[in-house]
C-alpha cells in the first residue's frame, strides 16, 4: 500500500510540474534558464563523446532493448512490458505536448548556442522526448530494483537530461518537463498494474 501511495503522489507531483513548466515554457524564457543552459552548453566539446552513449538511453530504440534486458535480468514480465509500453508512450506523447506548447529549440532563442554531436536545431523543444523516455523507464524499473539499482537508474536518466542540454537540443525547462512526463507515465503504469514484482532482485541493503 505504501508503494502504491508513493506512485500516486509521484504521478500527482509529476503532473503538476508538467503543467507548470509547460505554461512557463510556452510564454517566456526565464533569465535563470538561459544562464543555466549556457553554463552547460558551453562546456568543452570533448564531453560530447562521453555523453553520446548514455544519451541513447532516451532514444526511441531504448525501450525495447531495455525491456529485453530487464526481463533477462529480473525475470519480471510486468516490468519488462512496462518498460516497453511506458517508454514508447513517453516517446510518442512528447511530440503531442510539443505541438501544444510550441517552444522552439535553444538555437532559435539563444544566439551562440553550440550544437554538439547529437544535438539539433530542427523541430520543437518542450518537452524533451529523450528525458521523458529515460525517466519513464527508470520509474517502471525502480520498484523491482534494490536501492543501489534505483539510484543508478535515476542517475542515468538525469545524465540523459543534462546531455540533451549540453548538445544544444533542449533548454532546462524542456528536460524538466520531459522528466515529469516520463515519471507521470511510469507512475501510472505502476499504479494500474501488479505493484509487487514477481521476480525482482531482492534489496539486501
Residue 110 lies in a domain: yes
CATH of the domain at 34: 1.20.144
For residue 188, give the 3-state DSSP assignment: helix
Angle at 8 between CA 3 and CA 9, to 5 degrees: 95
Task: Measure the CA–CA gap between 146 and 33, rounded to whole angstroms.
Answer: 34
Reported confidence tier of residue 199, pLDDT bands at 50, 70, 90: very low
Residue 111 lies in a domain: yes
DSSP-H helix ranges across 42-192: 47-55, 62-74, 77-101, 106-109, 129-141, 147-166, 172-192
Residue 201: pLDDT over 70: no
pLDDT at 194: 65
How many CA atoms does the CB half-sphere of 147 hold within 13 Å? 3
pLDDT at 43: 84
Domain count, the chain: 1
Range of the domain at 131: 2-192
Q: Report the pLDDT averaged over residues 31-54.
A: 89
Reported confidence tier of residue 45, pLDDT bands at 50, 70, 90: confident
Q: Report the pLDDT averaged over residues 125-152.
A: 97
Residue 115: pLDDT over 50: yes
Residue 153 lies in a domain: yes
Closest CA to 201 of 72, 66, 64, 65: 72
Grid coordinates in use for 173?
525547462
**N-terminal to C-terminal alpha carbon distance within the chain:** 21
Residue 143 lies in a domain: yes
For residue 104, give the 3-state DSSP assignment: strand
| Angle between the N-to-C axes of helices 129-141 and 62-74, in degrees from 0 to 180, rounded to the nearest 10 | 10
Amino acid at each position: 500500500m505504501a508503494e502504491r501511495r508513493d506512485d500516486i503522489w509521484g504521478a500527482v507531483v509529476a503532473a503538476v510540474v508538467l503543467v507548470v513548466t509547460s505554461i512557463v515554457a510556452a510564454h517566456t524564457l526565464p533569465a535563470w534558464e538561459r544562464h543555466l543552459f549556457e553554463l552547460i552548453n558551453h562546456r568543452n566539446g570533448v564531453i560530447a563523446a562521453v555523453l553520446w552513449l548514455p544519451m541513447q538511453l532516451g532514444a526511441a530504440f531504448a525501450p525495447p532493448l531495455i525491456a529485453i534486458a530487464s526481463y533477462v535480468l529480473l525475470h519480471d514480465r510486468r516490468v519488462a512490458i512496462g518498460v516497453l509500453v511506458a517508454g514508447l508512450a513517453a516517446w510518442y506523447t512528447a511530440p503531442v505536448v510539443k505541438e501544444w506548447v510550441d517552444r522552439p529549440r535553444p538555437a532559435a532563442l539563444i544566439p551562440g548556442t553550440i550544437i554538439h554531436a547529437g544535438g539539433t536545431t530542427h523541430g520543437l523543444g518542450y518537452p524533451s522526448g529523450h528525458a521523458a523516455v529515460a525517466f519513464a523507464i527508470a520509474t517502471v524499473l525502480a520498484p523491482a530494483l534494490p536501492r543501489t539499482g534505483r539510484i543508478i537508474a535515476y542517475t542515468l536518466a538525469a545524465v540523459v537530461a543534462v546531455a540533451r542540454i549540453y548538445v544544444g537540443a533542449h533548454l532546462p525547462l524542456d528536460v524538466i518537463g520531459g522528466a515529469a512526463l516520463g515519471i507521470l507515465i511510469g507512475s501510472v503504469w505502476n499504479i494500474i498494474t501488479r505493484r509487487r514484482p514477481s521476480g525482482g532482485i531482492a534489496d539486501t541493503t
